[in-house]
Amino acid sequence: MKALSIIATSVLVSAVAMTSVQAAGMAEGGVFELEAKVMDANSDGKISKDEFMKMSAKMAAKEFMMMDMNDDGSVSMEEHAFAMANR
């Protein structure tokens, strides 16, 4: 139950943060432009493979943590199904 509460809170916080990020991105030329600026760690105007892979790894780790509802270090079929149904 605790894990479910934590996930619900995380999802709510993420949704609020994403709304703010999307609004900021739209004001400056779109969400994709904002995402590119975040991924461009060295601000050279390009996203290198290394920058892309680091950001992808961070996003994957966050997604995994959200799916691992009982914090046992693995995602059961039930946890995965729940996560996919509640995206």
Indicate the pTM of the whole model. Answer: 0.52
**Alpha carbon distance 61, 73 (integer Å):** 11
Q: Assign 38 a pLDDT band (cuts: 50, 70, 90).
A: confident
Residue whose tokens read 């619900």:
8
Q: Which of 2-11, 23-32, 64-73 has the lowest mean pLDDT?
A: 2-11
Whether the CB-CB separation of 25 and 35 falls below 8 Å is answered with: yes
Q: Tell me what the pLDDT averaged over the chain comes to.
A: 78
**Sequential DSSP letters for the chain:** -HHHHHHHHHHHHHHHHHHHHHHHHHHTT-HHHHHHHHH-TT-SSS--HHHHHHHHHHHHHHHHHHH-TT-SSS--HHHHHHHHHT-
